[in-house]
Amino acid sequence: MSGSSIGDNGAIILGESLKSNSTLTELDLSYSTIKATTVLSICNSLKFNSTITALHITPNEASSVLKQMLVANKTAKGLLCW
């Protein structure tokens, strides 16, 4: 999803789908247009996700919120940000 313009609705849909994800192990949100106000659904979903082990982000509006998600996620092993 690198470079995507996922937007508010896309972030909500992505967050909901991550709750039941059992195969995706990496999530690349680098260079995306996710806003801090809409990334909350992703953060909450990843609290319950046991398969995502790496998250790729770059400085964007949601970077700090996504970093906080790692504290709640028990399986994350990596964070890439520039």
| Mean pLDDT across 6-34 | 82
Residue spans of the domains in the chain: they are 7-80
Buried b (16+ CB within 10 A) or exposed e, 45-76: bbeebeebeebbbeebebbebbeebeeebeeb
Q: Which CATH class is domain 7-80?
A: alpha beta
Report yes or no: 36 and 8 within 8 Å, Cβ to Cβ.
no
Query: pTM value?
Result: 0.60
Strand intervals (E) in 1-82: 26-28, 54-56, 78-80
| Statement: residue 26 has pLDDT above 70 | yes
**47-74 pLDDT per residue, tens:** 888 888 887 766 666 666 666 666 666 6
> Mean pLDDT of all residues in the chain?
73
Residue 18 zone, left/alpha/beta (φ > 0; ψ -120 to 50; rest) = alpha
Report yes or no: 25 and 49 within 8 Å, Cβ to Cβ.
no
| Statement: residue 24 has pLDDT above 80 | yes
**38-48 pLDDT per residue, tens:** 667 777 788 88
